[in-house]
Amino acid sequence: MSTDSTSAPNFIRNQISEELEQGRLNQLVTRFPPEPNGFLHIGHAKSICLNFGLAEQFGGRCHLRFDDTNPAKEEQVYIDAIRDDIEWLGFHWSGDVRYASDYFEQLYEWACHLIREGLAYVDDLDAEQMREYRGTLTEPGRPSPWRERSVAENLALFEAMRNGDFEEGEKVLRAKIDMASPNINLRDPTLYRIRHAAHHQSGERWKIYPAYDFTHGQSDAIEGITHSLCTLEFEDHRPLYNWFLENLPVPSQPRQIEFARLNLNYTVTSKRKLKLLVDNDIVDGWDDPRMPTISGMRRRGYTPASVRKFCDMVGVARAAGVVDIQMLYHAIRSDLEENAPRAMCVMKPLKVVLSNLEEAFEQRFEVAGHPAREDMGTRSLPLTREIWIDRDDFMEEPPKKFFRLAPGQEVRLRNAYVIRCDEVIHDDSGEVSELRCSVDLETLGRNPEGRKVKGVIHWVSVAHGVPVEVRNYDNLFTVEAPDRDRDGDFLDHLNPESLETVQAIGEPALAEIEPESRFQFERVGYFCADRYDSAPGRPVFNRTVSLKDGWAKAQKKA
C-alpha cells in the first residue's frame, strides 16, 4: 500500500510548517511518552503516527521516552511490549530509548531550586486533609498550615524525604502557587511523594518520586522537545506546564499542544478497562486478537500500513468524537485486497460427489495467487470426484436470486468447472448430508452455451484438503458505546460470540504456511496465521475481517 502516513493536513501540522517557514523553528523535535503500565492501544497508535509522522515529514526527530514516575504500576514487560509495538508499526525513535527516570537527579535539584525561591514547600497534610483544603470546583481552597515553612526547613525536610526518613504518605513536596486559583491544577500541586518501592529502572535509589506535572515539561525541556503533543485532558495542565518552564532554569522552552484522543465505537480504549479484561481472563491476554491493543491487532492480522492508514484517515483535531469501526475495517480490507494472496477454505463443509467423474479422476489447475498481481505467482489446485463446499452455498429451497447451488441449479466451482446439482441426500435426521452433482466438462475457462451461470463458489478436494483451525473474531462488545453505560458496567455488553472456532478445510497450499502469513479466503474474508499457535503443518488462522457481504445485506433488507 502506498499510503504515506500523516499526509492529511491538521492544525498541528499547519502550525509547525508555518513556524518552519517563518524561521521560528529550526528543527522539529517531538516525543512519544508512554507510561509502561499497560499495552499500547489504537489510541496510542494515533499519537505515535502523529509524533513520529510529523518528525519524519519535517525532517525532525522523535524521541521515545517512558514516563516512568510511578514504580507501583509500571513493569519491564510493558516497556518491552511498547518498544515492539512501535517498531512493528514501522517507526524509529531518535537516539536511545529515554526514561523520565534518567532525569530524577536533575528534577530533584530543580525541586530544591523551587524551594530556595520560596516556590515549593513540604506539606505534612495527609491525602484526605489535602483534599479538604483544596476546595471544590466552585469554592477556593485554603492554604495548608505548613505552607509558610522556612526555606531551610523545607530543604532539610525534602532531603530527609529523599533519604527515606519518612513513611509513605507522611509528607509531600508541593508547589506554592495559588490555593484560590479557578484552575484546580494550580492549587499547590504535589511535586513529590514518598514511595518506598523498587523502580524498574532506578532500582532502590529513590524513596521519593516526582509527579507527572513536575516531570513531563522539564523532561521535554531537557531533551529539547519543541512540540509536546498530548491529549485534551491535559489542557488544564498547560498553565502548570508553563509555570515550571518559567520558574526553573531549563535549557529550552517546549510548547504543549493538545488534540482529541481517539475513540472507537464497539470497543473500549482505556488502559484501565483493557487491564480489567485481561486480569479477569475475559480475553486471552493483552494481545488477544479481539483487543484494540496494537499487539492484539497485530495478532488479529492487521498490517502496520493499515493501522497507519487508519490513523491518517481519522485525522487530528480538537473535537472529541467517536470514530466508526468500519473505518478501521476499511483500512485493513483495502490493504489486504491488494496485498494478500488468495486461497480457498471451506468453513462449514458439505460433501459434494461429482457423479459423472470417475473414482480416480484428478485434475490439477494452475491458479493465480492473486487476480491482479502476477508477481504473486500461481498455486496448484487439485480437483477430484469428491469435494467440499460450504453449507452456506447450498439451499434446498432457495429464495429468488440465490445464485449458488440448489436442486437443479448450476454454479461455477471457482477456477474450475460449472456443476449442476442433481440430487440431495439427507441423513437420518433429515439434515442435508451430501450432494450429487454433474460436471459440465465444456466449461473450463469459458461460459456454458445458451445459459448464464451467475454463481461462483469455493471448494476443496476431499482427498487433498487440509484441516485448518479457524478463529472467527467479532467485536468484543455488542453496543456502540460500552463505556458510556450510565447505570451499568461496560462488561454487561460483552459479545458472547466474539470468538467462534471452527474446524475448516483448506486447499493444499495452506498446509505449510508460516505464522503471520495473510490470505484472503475467497468469498469469506481475510485471515492471518496466528503468530503463536500456527506452525507449518498445523495451520491456525485468525479472521482479521470478513469480506463485505452484499448478499447478506440484501437479505436483511428483504
Partner RNA sequence: UGGGGUAUAGCCAAGUGGUAAGGCACCGGUUUCUGGUACCGGCAUUCCCAGGUUCGAAUCCUGGUACCCCAGCCA
Residue at grid coordinates 498541528: 12
Pick the catalytic residue: 19, 35, 480, 516?
Answer: 35
| Smaller CB separation from RNA, 237 or 464 | 237
Q: Is 423 a catalytic residue?
A: no
CA distance 555 to 499: 24
- Decide if residue 75 touches RNA (CB under 7 A): no
| Smaller CB separation from RNA, 97 or 130 | 130
> Do residues 335 and 307 lie in contact, with contact meaning Cβ atoms separated by under 8 Å?
no
Judged by CB under 7 A, the residue of 7, 14, 27, 76 near RNA is 14
Q: Is 35 a catalytic residue?
A: yes
3-state secondary structure of 350: strand
- Contacting RNA within 126-165 (CB under 7 A): 126-127, 130-131, 134, 136-138
- Decide if residue 327 touches RNA (CB under 7 A): yes
- Decide if residue 184 touches RNA (CB under 7 A): yes
Stretch that binds RNA, among 20-28, 142-150, 322-330, 425-433 (CB under 7 A): 322-330
- Contacting RNA within 100-129 (CB under 7 A): 125-127
> Do residues 244 and 217 lie in contact, with contact meaning Cβ atoms separated by under 8 Å?
yes
- Decide if residue 364 touches RNA (CB under 7 A): no
Judged by CB under 7 A, the residue of 118, 145, 169, 536 near RNA is 169
Expressed in percent and rounded to 5, the helix, strand and coil fractions of the chain are 30, 25, 45
User: What minimum distance in Å lies between the beta carbon of 53 and RNA?
Assistant: 14
Residue at grid coordinates 504456511: 513
- Contacting RNA within 290-319 (CB under 7 A): 313-319
| Smaller CB separation from RNA, 156 or 547 | 547
| Smaller CB separation from RNA, 314 or 470 | 314
- Decide if residue 168 touches RNA (CB under 7 A): yes
| Smaller CB separation from RNA, 443 or 542 | 443
User: Alpha-carbon torsion 193, 196, 197, 201, what sign?
Assistant: positive
**Those residues with Cβ within 8 angstroms of residue 280's Cβ, 6 or more apart along the chain or in another chain:** none
User: What minimum distance in Å lies between the beta carbon of 283 and RNA?
Assistant: 22
| Smaller CB separation from RNA, 203 or 321 | 321
- Contacting RNA within 17-36 (CB under 7 A): 33, 35
- Decide if residue 193 touches RNA (CB under 7 A): yes
User: What minimum distance in Å lies between the beta carbon of 537 and RNA?
Assistant: 26
Cα Rg of the chain, angstroms: 31
> Do residues 48 and 62 lie in contact, with contact meaning Cβ atoms separated by under 8 Å?
no
Report the interhelical angle of 42-57 vs 304-314 (nearest 10°).
80
Stretch that binds RNA, among 65-73, 80-88, 249-257, 279-287 (CB under 7 A): 65-73
User: What minimum distance in Å lies between the beta carbon of 193 and RNA?
Assistant: 4
**Those residues with Cβ within 8 angstroms of residue 113's Cβ, 6 or more apart along the chain or in another chain:** 248, 249
CA distance 530 to 541: 6
Pick the catalytic residue: 149, 176, 207, 271?
Answer: 271
> Do residues 79 and 200 lie in contact, with contact meaning Cβ atoms separated by under 8 Å?
yes
User: What minimum distance in Å lies between the beta carbon of 464 and RNA?
Assistant: 18
Pick the catalytic residue: 73, 195, 261, 348?
Answer: 261
Site size for RNA, by CB under 7 A? 92
**Parallel, antiparallel, or unpaired: how do β-strands 29-32 and 61-66 relate?**
parallel
Binding mask 219-258 for RNA (x = CB under 7 A): -------------xxxxxx---------------------
476 annotated among ligand-binding-site residues:
no
How far, CA to CA in Å, does 485 sit from each of 204, 205, 481, 510? 43, 44, 7, 43
- Decide if residue 414 touches RNA (CB under 7 A): yes
CA 386 to chain centre: 43
Neighbours of 351 (CB within 10 A): 15
| Smaller CB separation from RNA, 70 or 438 | 70
- Decide if residue 448 touches RNA (CB under 7 A): no
> Do residues 298 and 287 lie in contact, with contact meaning Cβ atoms separated by under 8 Å?
yes
Judged by CB under 7 A, the residue of 445, 450, 496, 537 near RNA is 445
How far, CA to CA in Å, does 137 sit from each of 179, 185, 342? 12, 11, 60
**Nearest residue to 265 (alpha-carbon basis) of 89, 488, 490, 45:** 490
- Decide if residue 333 touches RNA (CB under 7 A): yes
> Do residues 540 and 503 lie in contact, with contact meaning Cβ atoms separated by under 8 Å?
no
Q: Is 176 a catalytic residue?
A: no
Which secondary structure element, helix H or strand E, spans residue 545, and what is its range?
strand 540-546
- The binding site consists of 35-37, 41-47, 67, 212, 231, 261-262
Binding residues for L-glutamine are: 67, 212
Q: Which residues participate in catalysis according to the annotation?
A: 35, 261, 271
